[in-house]
């Protein structure tokens, strides 16, 4: 497609990753076509994606039966299926990873969502998955919870690539990028005399879930009248994008600081910001809202297949990430006038985000247990 909008995003310095993985798109060659024809340069996965791919299809049934007859446990079957998909995806992306000298071409695999508040357990599983997948272009997804910060720092110090997930608020993002995680992990490597040039990390800032929670709160203010109602009317549908734009300004500050520049001389790379949860939930809004508004250099947008197809069809690429920064600042300054505290909102979203992955993860294991039992019977 000569004028494919997806391909134009690369000229603005943004990478498009696919927020989806399944054995079907691997076997059919569809993922390879997305890489070659649409410029997809990475893939992200999560428990919800694997639940849909494995539990809601028959694509894995032969593999499940074979593993069940080997007397594998349900947990072992899950791990085997997922790691094989991740390895195959990593191999498809590896030529790009080589061509980009390790700057792109990654696939992400998440630790169990049950470990989100368990730092020791997260560290143990992250090391295990890194070893089992055994691909340099793997990113281990670790929730950016308070408990996860020291884990992220330790993993970076050990040379394990990390995708920090479930970020909603600016204070937590700053802690992840700078003081308590990524940069600190790099400094630990320097202190140990270890190289920095192949260490990669991204910080996944979740978007649509912010608006899904905040907009109904704003709508409740409308009947009250007065200044809160006026502000609420002005702010609906704007908080997620304003938060993302503010996060990008933090990204630029952190990565142009003297502290980080010192690491760059040793080969350190920036921890790019990744826009996640980018499918539009409201039918009244554009289905490419969270793609169009956040196009900018040194960023990644991971989008589900439906949104990717929509953007190919009617996307209009242009640099917009730093448009109207004064307006962005006003939006975030005016939100407290409605009685809504953004830090409280993002804390709630973090807790809900963990639960949103726990449920499909457990559902997937239940489905695998049924298939395993049936095969062994």
pLDDT in tens, 32-91: 999 999 999 999 999 999 999 999 999 999 999 999 999 999 999 999 999 999 999 999
* Distance, CA of 164 to CA of 271 (rounded, Å): 10
Report the domain count for the chain.
1
DSSP letter for 112, please.
P
Per the domain annotation, does 252 fall within a domain?
no
Lowest mean pLDDT, pick from 112-116, 179-183, 370-374: 179-183
CA torsion through residues 291, 292, 293, 294, sign: positive
Q: Which position among 8, 80, 141, 363 bears the catalytic label?
A: 141
Per the domain annotation, does 251 fall within a domain?
no
Per-residue pLDDT tens digits for 125-163: 999 999 999 999 999 999 999 999 999 999 999 999 999
Residue 125 phi, psi dihedral angles, 5° rounding = -70, -35
User: CB of 364 within 8 A of CB of 53?
Assistant: no
Q: What percent of the chain has pLDDT over 90?
A: 93
User: CB of 284 within 8 A of CB of 211?
Assistant: no
Taking alpha carbons only, the member of 175, 169, 127 closest to residue 148 is 175
Per-residue pLDDT tens digits for 199-226: 999 999 999 999 999 999 999 999 888 8
Say whether pLDDT at 376 is over 90.
Answer: no
pLDDT-derived band at 323 (thresholds 50, 70, 90) equals: confident
What's the mean pLDDT in 236-257?
Answer: 96
Per the domain annotation, does 11 fall within a domain?
yes
What's the mean pLDDT in 103-112?
Answer: 98
Q: What is the mean pLDDT of the chain?
A: 95
Per the domain annotation, does 249 fall within a domain?
no
pLDDT-derived band at 344 (thresholds 50, 70, 90) equals: very high
Say whether pLDDT at 104 is over 90.
Answer: yes
- Structural domain boundaries enclosing 356: 5-208+263-319+345-376
pLDDT-derived band at 324 (thresholds 50, 70, 90) equals: confident
Per the domain annotation, does 213 fall within a domain?
no
Per the domain annotation, does 255 fall within a domain?
no
Per the domain annotation, does 351 fall within a domain?
yes
The CATH code of the domain that includes 174 is: 3.20.20.70
**123-148 b/e (C-beta count within 10 Å ≥ 16 → b):** bebbeebbebbebbbbbbbbbbbebb
Angle value at C-alpha 253, between 18 and 245, nearest 5 degrees? 50
Per the document, the length of the chain is 377
Say whether pLDDT at 346 is over 70.
Answer: yes
DSSP letter for 168, please.
-
pLDDT-derived band at 1 (thresholds 50, 70, 90) equals: low
* Distance, CA of 364 to CA of 370 (rounded, Å): 10
End-to-end Cα, the chain, rounded Å: 50
**73-109 b/e (C-beta count within 10 Å ≥ 16 → b):** ebeebbebbbbebbbbbbebbeebbeeeebbbbbbbb
Verify whether residue 141 is a known catalytic residue.
yes
* Distance, CA of 49 to CA of 25 (rounded, Å): 13
Instruction: Give how far Cα 327 sits from Cα of 159, 249, 280, 323, Å.
Output: 40, 14, 22, 9
Global pTM value: 0.96
What's the mean pLDDT in 297-314?
Answer: 97
Per the domain annotation, does 215 fall within a domain?
no
Beta bridge partners of 228: none
User: CB of 301 within 8 A of CB of 275?
Assistant: yes
* Distance, CA of 10 to CA of 15 (rounded, Å): 6
Say whether pLDDT at 92 is over 80.
Answer: yes
Beta bridge partners of 176: none
From its phi and psi, is residue 71 left (phi > 0), alpha (psi between -120 and 50) or beta?
Answer: left
User: CB of 196 within 8 A of CB of 267?
Assistant: yes
């Amino acid at each position: 497609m000569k004028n494919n909008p997806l391909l134009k995003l690369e000229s603005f310095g943004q990478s498009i990753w696919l927020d989806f993985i399944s054995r079907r798109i691997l076997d059919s060659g569809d993922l390879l076509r997305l890489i070659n024809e649409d410029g997809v340069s990475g893939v992200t996965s999560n428990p919800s994606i694997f639940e849909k791919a494995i539990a809601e299809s028959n694509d894995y049934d032969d593999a499940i039966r074979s593993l069940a007859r080997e007397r594998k446990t349900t947990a072992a079957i899950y791990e085997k299926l997922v790691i094989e998909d991740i390895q195959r995806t990593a191999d498809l992306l590896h030529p790009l990873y080589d061509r980009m000298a390790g700057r792109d071409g990654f696939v992400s695999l998440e630790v169990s969502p049950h470990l989100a508040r368990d730092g020791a357990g997260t560290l143990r599983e992250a090391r295990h998955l890194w070893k089992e997948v055994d691909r340099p272009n793997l990113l281990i997804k670790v929730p950016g919870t308070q408990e996860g910060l020291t884990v992220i720092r330790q993993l970076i110090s050990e040379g394990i690539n990390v995708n920090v997930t479930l970020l909603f608020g600016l204070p937590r993002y700053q802690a992840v990028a700078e003081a308590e995680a990524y940069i600190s992990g790099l400094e630990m490597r320097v202190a140990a005399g270890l190289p920095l040039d192949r260490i990669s990390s991204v910080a996944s800032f979740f978007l649509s879930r912010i608006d899904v929670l905040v907009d109904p709160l704003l709508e409740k203010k409308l009947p009250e009248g007065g200044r809160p109602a006026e502000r609420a009317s002005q702010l609906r549908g704007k908080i997620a994008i304003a938060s993302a734009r503010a996060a990008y300004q933090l990204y630029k500050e952190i990565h142009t600081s003297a502290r980080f520049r010192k690491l760059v001389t040793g080969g350190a790379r920036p921890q790019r910001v990744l826009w996640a949860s980018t499918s539009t939930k409201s039918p009244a809004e554009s289905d490419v809202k969270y793609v169009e508004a956040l196009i900018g250099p040194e960023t990644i947008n991971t989008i589900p297949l439906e949104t990717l197809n929509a953007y190919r069809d009617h996307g209009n690429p242009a640099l917009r990430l730093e448009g109207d920064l004064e307006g962005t600042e006003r939006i975030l300054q005016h939100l407290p006038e409605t009685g809504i505290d953004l830090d409280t909102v993002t804390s709630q979203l973090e807790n809900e985000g963990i639960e949103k992955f726990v449920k499909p993860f457990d559902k997937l294991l239940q489905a695998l247990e049924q298939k395993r039992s049936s095969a062994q019977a």
